[in-house]
């Protein structure tokens, strides 16, 4: 393939080896691509697929998302993480219904103006929905170009990002925009992987500077280390006489924003003090470890029963009781769902 351009080599490879059976490719509409691209932000394809399929089954079009409550959308997102994506998606659906005749805009600029859609994601939607060439610079493509051009520096910096954007623009084909976008992402996901890349099978290895210089492992430069915060806190699993469990909505800002959660003392105020409960009336349960990008949590669950408490519990505006047929349908953080599934069964 030495006499072919980068895009020609890539498309020839993709026609034989690329991922052509992803659920958002059949049919490949603007709405379906939009949902997929938002879910794929910082999340791998294999993780996204089951969430995507459930989401599309519940919300087959943009109008159904806009008509749903935020809770309904978050419930389908529960466990996928980065929940601001779901809240922004819901907001964007409402804007599209109000300002764009219940459809996604047809230009990258208008798409990028919607909540949760950056320029690269806007281009990915535009390219795949309308088969137009457009620069897409997700993590996989950044890694491919960083190696292909031996670009020094971490791609997260504005300087390196701009350099990679210009390089990607220069490589764009004039036709088959949708296939080229998918091929670019597939190359990074399947061959030009972060570790143990399969360079021998790469369709553009004959021009890859990092490969030719035997420096593939040097590119892209690693992200500066994130300081992992250790955090330990209590969560209360409190049941009432009907077997319902007390949940409270998290603040919109911060961890698990807008989701329903078990009451916790991670806001600086001890749980027992906040709810007026004597800790001696609560049963400690085995701890649960949960890892976020920047935080390692140790959740210490406490089990209680209102009927056995000396004092009653008054719910705030952000708290409510949910039965065993209700809470599974809520947007819940993954560790909260784990605790409820383990300790609250059929209302007992």
Residues with catalytic roles: 37
- CA 76-78-82 angle, 5° bins: 110
Mark out the alpha helices in 100-157 (DSSP H runs).
108-112, 119-130, 139-148
Q: Cα 70 from chain centroid? A: 16
119-152 exposure pattern, b = at least 16 Cβ within 10 A, e = fewer: bbbbbbbbbbbeebbbbbbbbbbbbbbbbbbbbe
Handedness of CA 37, 42, 46, 50 (dihedral sign): negative
* Token couple for 5: 């351009």
Angle of helix 119-130 relative to helix 177-190, nearest 10 degrees, comes to 120
Only one residue has tokens 């998606």, namely 89
């Amino acid at each position: 393939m030495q006499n072919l351009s980068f895009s020609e080599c890539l498309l020839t490879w993709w026609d034989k080896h690329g991922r052509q059976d992803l659920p958002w490719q059949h049919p490949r509409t603007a709405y379906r691509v939009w949902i997929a691209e938002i879910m794929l932000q910082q999340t791998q394809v294999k993780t996204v697929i089951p969430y995507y399929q459930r989401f599309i089954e519940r919300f087959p079009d943009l109008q159904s998302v806009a008509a749903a409550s935020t809770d309904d959308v978050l419930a389908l997102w529960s466990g996928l993480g980065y929940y601001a994506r779901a809240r922004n998606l819901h907001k964007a659906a409402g804007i599209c219904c109000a300002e764009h005749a219940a459809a996604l805009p047809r230009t990258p600029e208008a798409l990028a103006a919607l909540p949760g859609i950056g320029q690269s994601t806007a281009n990915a939607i535009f390219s795949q929905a309308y088969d137009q060439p457009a620069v897409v610079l997700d993590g996989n493509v950044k890694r491919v170009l960083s190696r292909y051009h031996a670009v020094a520096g971490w791609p997260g910096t504005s300087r390196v990002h701009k350099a990679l954007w210009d390089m990607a623009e220069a490589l764009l084909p004039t036709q088959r925009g949708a296939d080229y976008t998918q091929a670019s992402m597939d190359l990074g996901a399947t061959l030009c992987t972060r570790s143990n890349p399969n360079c021998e099978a790469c369709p553009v290895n004959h021009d890859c500077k990092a490969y030719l210089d035997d420096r593939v492992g040097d590119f892209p430069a690693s992200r500066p280390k994130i300081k992992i915060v250790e955090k330990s806190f209590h969560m209360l699993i409190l049941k009432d006489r009907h077997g319902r469990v007390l949940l409270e909505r998290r603040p919109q800002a911060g961890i698990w924003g807008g989701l329903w959660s078990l009451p916790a003392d991670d806001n600086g105020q001890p749980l027992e003090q906040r709810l007026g409960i004597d800790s001696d009336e609560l049963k400690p349960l085995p701890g649960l470890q949960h890892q976020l990008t920047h935080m390692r949590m140790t959740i210490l669950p406490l089990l209680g029963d209102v009927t056995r408490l000396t004092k009653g519990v008054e719910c705030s505006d952000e708290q409510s009781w949910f039965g065993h047929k209700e809470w599974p349908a809520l947007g819940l953080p993954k560790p909260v769902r784990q605790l409820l599934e383990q300790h609250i069964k059929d209302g007992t």
